């Protein structure tokens, strides 16, 4: 390498790894549910639809039934005339994201099928929504 080439070479600064704020907040929610509402923690689950995947893996998952817009959390406890609770979880501002068209459409479809489907921004919002849901009387199948 010539001296001229060495002088013009500038090493790149490494990119900062993206921080998954939504994932961190959702993990904190799960910890709080485990402590405050163990009966909820036992049943609630996360639908891992998001994230970036290699194209081949994404294709396989789509063939297996992964659908865009499905909310992040599902609580299969029937309350207040609803069959269960779906939560689209978003991080707190300024790290939050807008609801996508597919998420909005899926929330609407779930509501039409008798589920309570909501958007929560942050752990506190989600805990309060779950608490309010649990205060409703159990839905009894006829």
Q: Which two tokens stand for residue 21?
A: 């704020």
Q: Which two tokens stand for residue 121?
A: 């921004």
For the whole model, what pTM was predicted?
A: 0.85
* Fold topology of 20-135: Trna Endonuclease; Chain: A, domain 1 (3.40.1350)
pLDDT at res. 127: 98
Radius of gyration of the chain (CA): 21
Within a 10 A sphere around the Cβ of 134, how many other Cβ atoms? 16
Q: How much is the mean pLDDT over the chain?
A: 90
Cα–Cα distance between 56 and 7 in angstroms, integer?
42
pLDDT at res. 96: 85
Cα–Cα distance between 142 and 133 in angstroms, integer?
21
**Which DSSP string corresponds to 19-37?**
P-HHHHHHHHHHHHHHHH-
């Amino acid at each position: 390498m010539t001296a001229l080439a060495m002088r013009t070479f500038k090493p790149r600064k490494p990119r900062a790894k993206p921080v998954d704020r939504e994932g961190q907040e959702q993990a904190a929610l799960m910890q709080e549910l485990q402590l405050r509402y163990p009966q909820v923690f036992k049943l609630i689950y996360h639908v891992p639809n998001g994230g970036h995947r290699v194209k081949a893996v994404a294709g396989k998952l789509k063939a297996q039934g992964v659908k865009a817009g499905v909310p992040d959390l599902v609580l299969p406890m029937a309350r207040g005339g609803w069959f269960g609770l779906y939560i689209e979880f978003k991080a707190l501002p300024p790290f939050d994201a807008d609801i996508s068209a597919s998420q909005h459409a899926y929330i609407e479809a779930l509501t039409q099928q008798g589920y309570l489907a909501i958007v929560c921004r942050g752990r506190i919002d989600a805990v309060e929504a779950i608490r309010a849901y649990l205060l409703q009387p159990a839905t009894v199948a006829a």
